[in-house]
A and B are shown apart, each in its own frame.
Chain A
């Protein structure tokens, strides 16, 4: 056998193993990424989606966050504008977690309709930036500009 052929066989083995690993691990570790509406559609069509690990991308309903005094567990609601799900979470939320941010939850929907999150990833709604416009409504700005108006 020519070395070139041998190499091609070796290469095919490596790529084959890589492809096999990729295919199997996607089957084992891949999870659905859904919006609350899509989740409720899936549940309606197939109740086995209860208690199945999924990811949900949604926005935290402002004012819904109730933190446990310890800071280690909390409840809040998420929505995509159409469907709302209550969420319970035990763990440390990221610093960027707050009212109105986009979050990606990992966890499962319990039969009582609550989403039990195991991971909460928050995207800073302000994208590492505060909108200067927001500043106009803050007390600091009002105080600073008040004398010039009078």
Chain B
């Protein structure tokens, strides 16, 4: 099986080459048999890459240490689940996963479009084959997962303990599914540009794929944050590290596109802009891979840095050049079909939303690249850190949050004063009430107060939208409120799914603002000792150490400290924090000791305990942190994902095609 996998990789190389050549040839010559052959090649590439992936999985699960990859990332005593996920622990495995997912996406795109978008498909197929070809070439010649060692180690060197975590097991595939999802819209954009079929047709094909990409990008980022929070032990979940930024950039651009596409659908505007966004999302995904794999920007994330980064740079330059050429020669075909009628209109609010999202993306890109840029210009490498990103992005982000509340309240084309008054009263009151209430209970942090006021406002908007929608259904169809709510969402998935995503966004902003109130204590406790602290809400906490215990587990030696936690005199839980020394199957230590953070999760705050070290027999050095509202980051993320799923759900598309885009249920905004 392993041998079959290895050979399949090379067959996939041939298939992708064939698909690229025949696809473009078929497109230009319009010969049906060539086009059909290219499409079959894309299925075949998927099949062979699947075999290649199964081959690597087999090697990993069988612990065949003659392969460098297996010996480098696993050991015989590694739990099977982590042998399985070690597939993407290293570079060449990750690349194989990329190629495999990409070919799978391509096959799905080719299949679902077998009787649609036929003029575009030859070029879509060929472009996707070309991208796949690039990955398979990188695999075959740059970083081959099937590379063998010239000796067979008795055991592998194990998986880094930081990667032995459920979050880390699924974070990379999610992020890759998101990253690679941008390739399909890119291929459609290229095809539409080549054929000059730049009407709305290609956009509807692209929207679904952008959503898929956005969905996985979102879950991937949230999982990555969760992993950093529970595993790395520095108490936060986002540090504006280049690698984090690289995952955030396509997300911002995809989000901008998902809003601006509505303007094109409704009003025929923003055509150039939308093509640019679609293409940028893909190029940024490739760019992100380049900066993380090449080591041109120093990042705390320690990915293997190798020549593979430069393969990506070459690919990026070529893709960029082709795109710029195609867009610049087709500007005429992308002329807007309508003019902006009023600044107080839905489309104007979308335009501002796009400017802000792209502005944030630009600031993030600028900050990430600043060390390189400053070195090129002034010969001094100057870095910017979290303060830079916070200073720029907090004002922009809060403005964007305000727009999240404003946009849905304004009518398309031109809003009347009466419309504005009717729509804005309740949400604005909700915002002011929230802010005033927090001020009254003693909150004095200005950015946080602004953030919570805006959260209140946006929540007001969303509730009002649902309220009006449900009310309209109750009057019109005499439904009970629950049925009305469910049908409202089911019949207008795009709109109300979008609002559910906004609910997630509000929760995330509220949770981010909570970090302003974080409290940290360095604590030294012997067994039986007590430490007292006050949390940001003013509760009295008492932590009593049960002492230090040492024991062996599965594939590690553990030093653990148990703390009894009392809030206002009542015991609320026991927190366990550990240091782990992982060992291989012979008991030889692998890697440095790893910290296992003790977290007592809560709706109001997490109590986060890191074991810094143990002195003597029984004295633990710890850092105890009260992290307000972190729990909400994960649940806000989940709500965003659910909203995304509702929007994506296929049925919505068919229904809308039959009924026209929700004409009945938007009386308030469509006056």
Contacts and interface: CB of A to CB of B under 8 A. Distances in A.
Our verdict on whether A and B bind, yes or no, reads: yes
Interface of A: 3-4, 6-7, 10-11, 14-15, 17-18, 21-22, 24-26, 28-34, 55, 57, 67, 69-72, 92, 94-98, 104, 106, 121-124, 126-132, 134-136, 138-141, 143-145
Contact of B382 (A30, A122, A136, A144): A30
Contact of B593 (A95, A127, A129): A95
B583 to A, nearest CB: 9
A116 B328 CA distance: 53
A100 B580 CA distance: 21
A29 B388 contact: yes
A140 B340 CA distance: 73
A132 B157 contact: yes
B612 A71 contact: yes
B419 interface: no
Given A94-B232, A129-B73, A134-B157, A33 B395 contact: no
A69 B73 CA distance: 33
Which residue, A4, A24, A127, has most C-beta atoms of chain B within 10 A?
A127
B386 to A, nearest CB: 9
Contacts of B305: 127
A130 B588 contact: no
Contact of A11 (B68, B351, B382, B522): B351
Given A55-B383, A124-B160, 8 more contacts: A31-B384, A67-B613, A104-B298, A122-B300, A130-B72, A132-B72, A132-B157, A143-B586
B587 A140 contact: yes
Contacts of A10: 343, 352
Contacts of A26: 370, 382, 384, 388
Closest 5 interchain pairs by CB?
A: A71-B613, A130-B157, A140-B588, A25-B391, A29-B387
B90 A128 contact: yes
B175 interface: no
A4 B157 contact: no
A144 to B, nearest CB: 4
A29 B613 CA distance: 33
Interface residues of B, number: 79
Contacts of B623: 92
B355 A15 contact: yes
Interface of B: 65, 68, 71-73, 89-90, 149, 153-158, 160-163, 232-234, 298, 300, 302-305, 339-343, 345, 348, 351-352, 355-356, 359, 362-363, 366-367, 370-371, 374, 380-385, 387-388, 391-392, 395-396, 399, 522, 524, 584, 586-588, 590-595, 610, 612-616, 621, 623
25 contacts: A3-B342, A6-B343, A11-B351, A11-B352, A18-B363, A21-B363, A21-B391, A21-B396, A22-B367, A25-B392, A26-B382, A31-B383, A33-B298, A104-B298, A123-B298, A127-B305, A128-B303, A129-B90, A130-B590, A132-B71, A132-B156, A135-B71, A135-B153, A138-B588, A140-B584
A33 B382 contact: yes
Contact of A14 (B233, B352, B590): B352
Contacts of A97: 592
- Name the residue among A28, A32, A70, A136 with the largest chain B CB count within 10 angstroms: A70
B298 A128 contact: no
Contacts of B387: 25, 28-29
B156 A30 contact: no
B130 to A, nearest CB: 30
A37 to B, nearest CB: 13
A40 to B, nearest CB: 15
Nearest to B71: A132
Nearest to A20: B392
Contacts of A143: 586
Give the residue among A134, A138, A140 with the most B Cβ atoms within 10 A: A140
Contacts of A33: 298, 371, 381-383
B300 A121 contact: yes
A46 B628 CA distance: 44
